[in-house]
Structure 1
Amino acid sequence: MADDARKTSGFWRRLKWIGLGLLVFGLVAGAYGYYRLMYEHREPLISDPDERFKYGSIGAEHDAGIPYWIFYVLPRMFPEKLPGPNGLASFGVAWEQGRELPIGFTKKKIGFDRVANNCASCHTSSYRTKVDENPSFVVPGANHRLDLQAFFRFLVDAAKDPRFNADNLMREIATVTELDWFDRLAYRFLIIPITKKRLLEREAQFAWIYHEPFPQWGRGRDDAMNLTKYFMIGAPMDNSFGPTDMPAIWNLKKYDAPGTTMNWAGDSHDAYSVIIDSALGLLGAAPKDSDEFLGHVIWLQDYLGQKPPPKYPFAIDAALADAGKAVFDANCASCHASDKTGRRMALAAVATDGERIATWTKANAIAANKAVQEFGIERKGLVEAPLEGYNPPFLDGIWLRAPYLHHGAVPTLRDLLTPPAERPKVFWRGYDLYDPVNVGFVSDGAEAQRVGSKFDVSERASGNQGHEFGTTLPPGEKDALLEYLKTL
């Protein structure tokens, strides 16, 4: 009996130690798995303000991030789905020499390296003064070269392709890097399948960018309010379509003046709200840490509020510019003086294309404000009223805001001073060679057609009518006015 008791006691002790060992192993394995798959590696904030704007994370890697090595090999695997040659560069991203990723693309380790976007991907301008020079990049201007719609479609189209599977991706990744055993298992059995699933889930949200009756946005434009409508509030797809130019967002303190509203149609109250809503669009979900997220927003508001517009890079005829100020005061200041801008003008008064206004309603604004409030974020938010027209824009740095009108339907400022019937009917957007005579970018010719996207004013939401102010001025006064506008 005693021997049996000792054996039984020994058995239970061994079982206890085995159980304890399994528990410890499970805890260690779980902790290791969490560290390799989910742990967020904190890095110091980038100290240089411009560098932080260009490459600093705002937290989008959590839900909207793409695993780095998948992101790296997709252009190699699916070149036929790109808008042109040269891989990721074909989307018109701003890419500084020697940098691992383009401006506006962030890399952060949350378990494993992930790539996401920040505001600079859409808000970095580029220009060249000569054919044979490297581009100059200007933050936080408008990326007139970025084909955002093509980028969205590329990610979804790649995920829909049967070649997007673990065998093919792992084979391609192995040609450029050697993953350790854990990453090989994680990529094959978790990361690749989950990434494919999440990209495919976006297809429904992107339905309107595949809608055949709608023309392509083209370079430098996005259908911003529809993005908000379908992503933030999950509204059903309707027949609205209103791509507009990506705006320059320097010197935002100018909107501090009482009575001003923001966005092309005055649909948002203030810079704080606009930055929050734009950043939430990049995150694709509620922020993981609201305090940290709002810290980024406050920093952006201060940075963008103080950032001055860029100086015109060519010589300016000072005497002609002085004469142009008088022309401006007599013909333009009634809409574009600092006490007039940022205040909505009725559509009938400016008579430009009205499709952008039709993309957004009071009900949309109420729903979007409610969605953000449910995230636990307080802001003035979107204007809960019907849209009636467009805001005459501030003209600081107007020389670098081409093409012109809210949807970029007129290539240069000189074209804008001609009657609508004489403005270009077809031109190419996205070439960065600057035209100082006409004040805008070169928009025709072999190279502009090679790198740009065709813009046809006869297509929907692309009309170049309206804004006939200054079109009857004598040629000499037009020249003087253009010279003055270069100084702003």
Structure 2
Amino acid sequence: MKTLCNCPRWLKITGLVVLLLTVVLGIVGYNRFMRDYGATVFDNPDDRFKYGSMGAENDAGIPYWIFYVLPRVFPDKLPKPGVGYASFGVVWEEGQELPVGFSKRRIGFDRVANTCASCHVSSYRTQADETPTLVVAGPNHTLDLEAFFRFLVDCAKDPRFNADTLMAEIELASKLDFIDRMAYRYLIIPITKKRLTEREGQFQWLYRHDFPEWGRGRDDAMNLTKYFMIRWPMDDSFGPTDMPSVWNLKKYQPEKGHRMNFAGDSHDPYSVVIDSALGLMGAEPKDKDDFLGHIDWLVDYLKNKPAPKYPFPIDAARAAHGKSVFDANCAACHASARTGTIVPLAEIGTDRGRINTWGKQAAIEANKVVSDMGIQRKGLVEAPLTGYVAQFLDGIWLRAPYLHNGSVPSLADMLAPPAQRPQVFWRGYDVYDQTKVGFVVQGPEAERAGTPLDTRLRGNGNGGHSFGTSLPAGDKTDLLEYLKTL
């Protein structure tokens, strides 16, 4: 019987060549498609929050060069053509490669994903020609998240989303090597198109014409959880929610009965951060230990991130009198044992749309999804929602517009009787109104930069919270001056 050693020489050489080619192709394939080169390390914790990877690039990441050229190929699908990703109201620092809230990580090839900072970094200006000041952990009131979601899906569904069109644009911006060109043309672009198109099912309710637009600075928080985490079929609920601030999270103390999220549907900061991060990832973490390590860092960072001080002059005498007005009219909910706990809907009287989007069974199923991943946290409250949380007011000056659905543009408007509050205004302009304590919401510049919010539409009601609305005008002015100090 012949052994391998008795094989013809040509066959041995051929086998050796095949083996070497297999090894080389395996190494190249691993390095170009699968190898995780690790996240960028940031010395500055604010930069880590703004741009640091949480691992979402694995399943939710978009190939960098596709992300780069989409606005160039599909300007007609942008909310405001001609200004690229800036048309979505992303916060963008001068000199940075990506907007705040976007991370870049090489896993075989460069990929881009969202981070918590996309919704939780604020900006403001004192006048239109000024560079915006950024405030980390504040609500991003300029971001049109709904438009961004739809943009990705709409691009993928368009016939122009093909290798010839995208590669022509990519090659204008970068000289990819042969392997990357072949990979993008025959694998990366077709796979990305397929995955983005598959997201359409999760985004169905974003295309419903009977639902108002979220507009800038809002999302539909618990429906996002239902459709992304527990994959429920679309129902008829609609609960637009303002982007919250996430600074100074140590103020929430579950042992005192505090609840988190506007409707009190989560127990503690750790649970909220985990659930938000899982929503960004869209799948179970590839490396659970690495993921939980990042969560631990985030929770510690946000617990100890202080609320920003009001950056403009404050009338100290008015503020001193305003404190007495606050103590008499506002402190019972916003500076007491009741702060951070749920106020019944019948008492506060605000729009109930947010409450209708969630319930006990949804919480049970969401908690099971996370538990099945082997991740332990207190999780979502397995009980019906009955009202809204009495908010802590630290940094309240930067949290406009107000109420859980962002339907009241300024603190001055909050002190007006509900019938006198603006019915229609423009959200997303970042020039600050020091008199009304909020952002400018009317006029040509606000209309150009923002999106309209009509409080007569579903989920947008601006009624309720009538506390302090009958105060004398002078007391209201002094109260506003005091609120600036918080």
In the superposition, the TM-score normalised over structure 1's length comes to 0.97
**Counterpart amino acid of residue 456 in structure 1:** D
Residue aligning to 1:15: 11
Residue aligning to 1:198: 195
Q: Does 1:414 align with 2:404?
A: no
**Identity value in percent:** 66
Q: Which of the numbers 75, 94, 97 marks the counterpart of 2:94?
A: 97
1:339 shift after superposition = 2.3
Residue aligning to 1:227: 224
1:20 shift after superposition = 2.9
Q: Encode CA deviations 1:359-379: one digit per residue, 9 max, x unaligned.
A: 001000000000001111000
Residue aligning to 1:79: 75
Residue aligning to 2:244: 247
Q: Encode CA deviations 1:267-295: one digit per residue, 9 max, x unaligned.
A: 00000000000000111100000110000
Contact 1:123 1:248 (8 Å CA) reproduced: yes
Q: Distance in 2 between matches of 1:296 and 1:71?
A: 25
Q: Which of the numbers 323, 344, 347 marks the counterpart of 2:345?
A: 347
How many residue pairs match? The answer is 484
Contact 1:287 1:293 (8 Å CA) reproduced: yes
Q: Encode CA deviations 1:332-376: one digit per residue, 9 max, x unaligned.
A: 011101422210110010000000000001000000000001111
Contact 2:40 2:52 (8 Å CA) reproduced: no
1:103 shift after superposition = 0.5
**Counterpart amino acid of residue 238 in structure 1:** D
Q: Which of the numbers 22, 28, 31 marks the counterpart of 2:27?
A: 31
Q: Distance in 1 between matches of 2:79 and 2:129?
A: 24
Residue aligning to 1:59: 55
Deviates more, 1:404-413 or 1:12-21: 12-21
Show structure 1 runs of 5+ residues with no match.
Answer: none
Residue aligning to 1:124: 121
Q: Does 1:50 align with 2:46?
A: yes
Residue aligning to 1:139: 136
Q: Encode CA deviations 1:397-437: one digit per residue, 9 max, x unaligned.
A: 00000000000000000001000110001100000000000
Local SS of the residue matching 1:455: strand
**Counterpart amino acid of residue 278 in structure 1:** S
1:11 shift after superposition = 4.5
1:13 shift after superposition = 4.2
Relative to 1, partners in 2 of residues 1:427 and 1:9: Cα closer, same or farther, differing over 3 Å?
Answer: closer
**Counterpart amino acid of residue 64 in structure 1:** A
Contact 2:145 2:219 (8 Å CA) reproduced: yes
Q: Encode CA deviations 1:416-461: one digit per residue, 9 max, x unaligned.
A: 1000110001100000000000000000000001110001011100
**Counterpart amino acid of residue 308 in structure 2:** P
1:44 shift after superposition = 5.2
**Which structure 2 residues correspond to residues 196-345 of structure 1 after superposition, within 5 A?**
196-256=193-253, 258-345=256-343
Q: Distance in 2 between matches of 1:345 and 1:273?
A: 21
Deviates more, 1:334-343 or 1:155-164: 334-343
Contact 1:106 1:117 (8 Å CA) reproduced: yes
Contact 1:416 1:423 (8 Å CA) reproduced: yes
Q: Distance in 2 between matches of 1:222 and 1:41?
A: 33
Q: Distance in 2 between matches of 1:367 and 1:163?
A: 39
Contact 1:338 1:394 (8 Å CA) reproduced: no
1:43 shift after superposition = 4.3
Residue aligning to 2:429: 431
Residue aligning to 1:159: 156
Residue aligning to 2:452: 454
Q: Distance in 1 between matches of 2:5 and 2:336?
A: 89
